């Protein structure tokens, strides 16, 4: 499904996380202009249903941000944009995605991986999406 089929306003877009309907929850993309670089960033928040469907246990609102460049979407996973700009928190740069819906799903799937690995005893500060297996990276972007 293309991005043009979703309802747009000037600064906020709501996307079903499964790409078709809202039964699995929705993500809201709030457009801001990054003062440091002047580029447009879409801050991604999710509803409780999306968190539940993707196995994200803790209550969460912000799951990251998206930037569009060269026809691709660049997802960056973070819980607070200040962590990206100032350091001090978990920030993960995920592989480029071909659509907004796939980029949002990559964010949700990545936070699922982080939560699962933390339950298994891994330190989330040492996880890196680029060091995941090729099959895992394909799953992130499916």
Higher pLDDT, 35 or 25: 25
Higher pLDDT, 126 or 105: 105
Judge whether residue 6 has pLDDT over 80.
no
Q: How would you class 140 by CB atoms within 10 Å of its CB: exposed for 0-12, middle for 13-18, buried for 19 or more? A: buried
Host H or E run for residue 74: strand 72-78
Provide the whole-model pTM. 0.81
Highest mean pLDDT among 23-32, 56-65, 82-91 belongs to 23-32
Mean pLDDT confidence for 63-74? 93
Helix (H, G, I), strand (E, B) or coil at 33: strand
Residue 40's Cβ-side half-sphere holds a number of Cα atoms within 13 Å equal to 10
> How high is the pLDDT of residue 17?
86
What is the Cα–Cα distance from 78 to 122, expressed in whole angstroms?
18
Do the bridges between strand 40-46 and strand 26-33 make them parallel or antiparallel, or are there none, so unpaired?
A: antiparallel
């Amino acid at each position: 499904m293309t991005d043009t089929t979703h309802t747009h306003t000037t600064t906020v877009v709501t996307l079903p996380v499964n790409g078709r309907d809202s039964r699995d929850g929705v993500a809201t993309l709030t457009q801001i202009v990054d003062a440091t670089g002047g580029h447009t960033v879409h801050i991604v928040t999710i509803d409780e249903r999306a968190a539940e469907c993707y196995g994200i246990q803790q209550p969460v609102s912000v799951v990251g941000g998206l930037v569009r460049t060269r026809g691709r979407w660049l997802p960056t996973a973070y819980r607070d944009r200040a962590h990206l700009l100032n350091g001090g928190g978990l920030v993960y740069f995920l592989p480029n995605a071909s659509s907004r819906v796939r980029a949002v799903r990559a964010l949700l799937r990545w936070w699922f991986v982080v939560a699962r690995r933390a339950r298994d005893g891994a330190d989330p500060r040492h996880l890196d999406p680029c060091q995941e297996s090729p099959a895992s990276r394909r799953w992130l972007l499916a």
